[in-house]
Amino acid sequence: MKIRIVIALITAFLVKTAIAQDFKIIQMADLKTKTNIGSIKIEASPLGVIFTPQLTASPMILTPGLHGFHVHQKGSCSSIVKNGKTILGGGAGGHYDPYITNAHGFAWGQYNHKGDLPALYVDASGKAENPVFAPRLTFSELKGLSIMIHMNGDNHSDHPKKLGGGGSRVACGVIE
C-alpha cells in the first residue's frame, strides 16, 4: 500500500514537472533594424496556449494601442521580394491556416485561421506585457512556425480590409 502511494506521488510530481516545462521563450526582432525588442513566452495550458509578451520598443517601432498579432505558417522572419516590392517578414508566409479556411477571425472562432490571436496591446511607453490566450492552438503544433506583430490593430475580420487591417509586419520571432 505504501509503495502505491509513493509511486502515485512520484508520478504526480513527474507529470506536474513535465507540464510546467511546456513553454518556450521566443526572441522578437524589429523587422527593419533586426534589433531585439524583447520576448514572448509561449506556454501550454490545459485549454490552449498562452502568449505572454515582454516587449519594450520605442513608440516608433511599436506605437501605443492595438496591433495585429498572429502565428504565421513558416519559421522564417526573412524578407522577400514580391512583384518587385520588398515585404519585411514575408518569409513567414501567411497566417497559420492548417484547415485552409482562407478566412480571418477571432482566436476562438471555428472557421478561420488557426493562427489568429487576440490583438497585442502596447502601452504609451512602448511596452507590451498583457498575455493573450489561443484556445484552438496546441503547444506541440507551434514548432517551426513564427509569431508576427503588425503595424495596425486587428478587427478580426476580412472586411473592410483583408486580414483584419493589421497592415505591414513590424516584428517577428521564430518558434524553434
Q: Residue 12: which pLDDT band, with cuts at 50, 70 and 90? A: very low
Cβ neighbours for 120, distance < 8 A, ≥ 6 positions apart:
53, 66, 67, 68, 69, 128, 130, 132, 149
pTM of the model: 0.85
Inside any domain, residue 2? no
Is pLDDT at 162 greater than 80 in this prediction? Answer: no
Inside any domain, residue 10? no
Inside any domain, residue 63? yes
| Range 157-169 average pLDDT | 80
pLDDT at 61: 81
Is pLDDT at 45 greater than 50 in this prediction? Answer: yes
Inside any domain, residue 126? yes
Q: Domain of residue 60: give its range.
A: 22-174
The pLDDT mean for the chain works out to 87
Are 113 and 154 in contact by the 8 Å Cβ rule? The answer is no
Are 107 and 135 in contact by the 8 Å Cβ rule? The answer is yes
pLDDT at 160: 77
Is pLDDT at 73 greater than 80 in this prediction? Answer: yes
pLDDT in tens, 94-129: 999 999 999 989 999 999 999 999 999 999 988 999
* 17, three cell numbers: 514537472
pLDDT at 48: 96
| Range 145-156 average pLDDT | 91
Is pLDDT at 85 greater than 80 in this prediction? Answer: yes
Q: Residue 59: which pLDDT band, with cuts at 50, 70 and 90? A: confident
Decide which of 165 and 12 is more confident: 165
Are 124 and 57 in contact by the 8 Å Cβ rule? The answer is no
Decide which of 144 and 20 is more confident: 144
Inside any domain, residue 145? yes
Inside any domain, residue 103? yes
Angle (CA) 22-44-30 rounded to 5° is: 90
Q: Residue 148: which pLDDT band, with cuts at 50, 70 and 90? A: very high
Cβ of 158: how many Cβ atoms within 10 Å?
15
Inside any domain, residue 36? yes
Is pLDDT at 13 greater than 70 in this prediction? Answer: no
Inside any domain, residue 73? yes
| Residue 170 belongs to domain with CATH number | 2.60.40.200
Number of domains in the chain: 1
